[in-house]
Amino acid sequence: MRIAPELAWQVVDGEGVVVDLRHRSMMGLSPSASFIWARIDTATEDQIAAELAQAFDVDEARARADVQSFVALLREQGLVVAS
Amino acid sequence: MALRPSAALQERALLRAQPLSALLELTYACNWRCVFCYNPRHHDRRRLDGDEWCAVIDDLRALGTLNVTLTGGEPLLHPQAFEVMAAARARAMTFRLFTNGSLVTDDVAHRIAELRPLTVELSLHGARSETHDRATAVPGSWGALWRGVAALRRHAVPIVLKTPLTRLNESELEEMVALTEREGIPYNIDATLTHRDDGDPAPLQYAMTAEGVARYYAALARGNRIPASHRTPGGVNCGLGRTTLAVDPEGNVYPCPQWRKSSLGNVRETRLLELWKTSAVRQEAAAVARAANDELLAAGGLMARFPFCPAVAQERTGDPVHADPIHLAEAEAAERARVAATAGR
């Protein structure tokens, strides 16, 4: 899984900003969404969940559920693709 | 639609000194000879190669840059221009390309389109071929520009036309606006000519006349687009030394595209990442942006809410924190135009 190549993104003070060059649109990400997003290219969902749990002080089961639902949403919207 | 981070995020980038945008001057080489060009020469002595630019882009990514603007000279004359564009996209950044359009064949337009630029921006120097060609000092440049525009449009590349207003083309302002509206192409006007990057004031002989300045602000006022700055106590005037930087063709780094008084250093000697984080020049420039904000607010009057460029003021008077006579004259012209437009509505 990786971020779609038609996107550009950056994180400012913990908040992500994503530019979709296909639709010429821009969106903001919450701190937790930005945390997940910034790791999508380099880590597995389980690894991201473990880091998210630690960084945001939540239990790992909840973190895993959050990662799974967020990634599913990203897939549905074509913002991440198979690597 | 302007694709730029929200004002709130830009404010946070200002506080963190995160260079969201960077201007990369790939080459001094240019096949045109615009009479008011800010570049000190039209050839390179020892320009950065593609690998060196990719290292710069790596560091920009790490510093938090979202957009790079590739310019020159004519950036398409750099032999690795496409590698640099691709490097920016591969690192999840947007890029804008400034070109004169003359090298944009159908194949070049296709390659640019595949890289999905944010915009490709081309300069329109007049509403008529003779005016445009006189400004570029290259016969046939008008035709070359429009062939480039056509190629880019065939490939659905988002383009912007822009005009540095000068005394050569100020009388054609309304025609240029009408022309770009007819073509359906977004259009920007820049009213500020600057010294050459080596300090040579020669371009200023082409600066607009007082009549031209009035005409420019009248046009902005008609569209309710008179520029304004919202300064607050303790704020900063602009992104100087904080949210923007520039790298020249030989690797010298500056704290904004306009500020050429002093360089942070050269990327061949010190990585950009380190220069940005440790340079006293960057910190001094950032302090200038804060001092200019405070001085303009304290002075009050029109300049308290009119855009001000410390780098341009520095060039003009050696003082980057107080309004120079040209800034003041522009603020007054803008106010007259605003009042006249309001009275006419």
User: Does the ipTM exceed 0.90?
Assistant: yes
Report B:77-116 residues touching A (Cβ under 8 A).
89, 92-94, 116
Longest alpha-carbon distance in chain A: 37
A34 contact residues in B (CB cutoff 8 A):
none
CA separation (Å) from A38 to A11, A16, A31, A82, B284?
8, 8, 10, 16, 32
pTM listed for this prediction: 0.95
Measuring CA to CA, how many Å separate B142 from each of B31, B34, B122, B139, B301? 13, 12, 11, 8, 42
Q: pLDDT tens for residues A57-82?
A: 999 999 999 999 999 999 999 999 99
- Indicate yes or no: CB of A12 within 8 angstroms of CB of B64: yes
Rounded distance, CA B343 to CA B118, Å? Answer: 39
Q: Which of B6, B12, B92 sits opposite A8 (nearest CB)?
A: B92
Question: Quick one: pLDDT at residue B344?
Answer: 79
| Residue indicated by tokens 């690192």 | B91
- Tokens for B322, please give them: 């107080």
Question: Which amino acid, one-letter code, is at B31?
Answer: N
Q: Across the interface, do A19 and B94 touch by the CB < 8 Å criterion?
A: yes
Q: Please judge whether B16 and A12 are an interchain contact, meaning their C-beta atoms are less than 8 angstroms apart.
A: yes
CB of B37 closer than 8 Å to CB of A53: no
Q: What is the pLDDT of residues A4-53, one digit of tens each?
A: 999 999 999 999 999 999 999 999 999 999 999 999 999 999 999 999 99
Min Cα separation B242/chain A (Å) = 13
CA angle B204, B206, B210 (to 5 degrees): 95
CA distance B85 to B236: 31
Q: Residue B118 and residue A19: Cβ atoms within 8 Å? A: yes
**Number of neighbours of residue B254 by Cβ within 10 angstroms:** 26
Query: Which residues of chain B lie closer than 8 angstroms to A11, CB-CB?
Result: 64
Q: What is the pLDDT at residue A56?
A: 95
Segments of chain B scoring below 50 in pLDDT: 1
Q: Given this model, what pLDDT does residue B1 score?
A: 45
Q: Does A21 touch chain B (CB under 8 A)?
A: yes
pLDDT digits (tens, 9 = 90+) for B267-295: 999 999 999 999 999 999 999 999 999 99
A4 Cβ under 8 Å from any chain B Cβ: no
Element (H, E) at B173: helix B173-183
Q: Which residues contact B142 (CB under 8 A, 6 or more apart)?
A: B126, B128, B129, B132, B133
Each residue of B108-123: pLDDT tens digit? Answer: 999 999 999 999 999 9
The CA-atom distances, in angstroms, between B189 and each of B165, B180, B192, B320 are 7, 12, 9, 24
The answer to whether the Cβ–Cβ distance between A8 and B1 falls below 8 Å is no
Nearest to B12 among A9, A12, A22 (CB): A12
> Considering only CB atoms, which chain A residues are within 8 Å of B65?
10
Q: What is the rounded end-to-end Cα distance, in angstroms, of chain B? A: 27
Q: Are the beta carbons of B77 and B30 closer than 8 angstroms?
A: yes
Rounded distance, CA B76 to CA B63, Å?
26
Distance of alpha carbon B280 from alpha carbon A52, whole angstroms: 37
CA distance A41 to A44: 9
Mean pLDDT across chain A, nearest whole number? 95
Nearest to A21 by CA among B66, B163, B251: B66
Residue for token digits 């010294």? B195
Q: From the candidates A2, A3, A13, which should be mutated to test the interface with B, based on the most B CB atoms within 10 A? A: A13
Which of chain A's residues have a Cβ under 8 Å away from the Cβ of B18? 12-13
Identify which of B12, B20, B92 has the shortest CB distance to residue A9: B92
Give the burial string for B35-63 (b: 16+ CB within 10 Å, else e): bbbbbeebebeebbebebbbbbbebbbeb
Best of A10, A13, A34 to substitute, by most chain B Cβ atoms within 10 angstroms, is A10
Helix H or strand E segment including B239: none
Looking only at the bridges linking them, the beta strands covering A15-20 and B119-123 are: unpaired
Asked if the C-beta of A1 comes within 8 angstroms of chain B's C-beta atoms, the answer is no
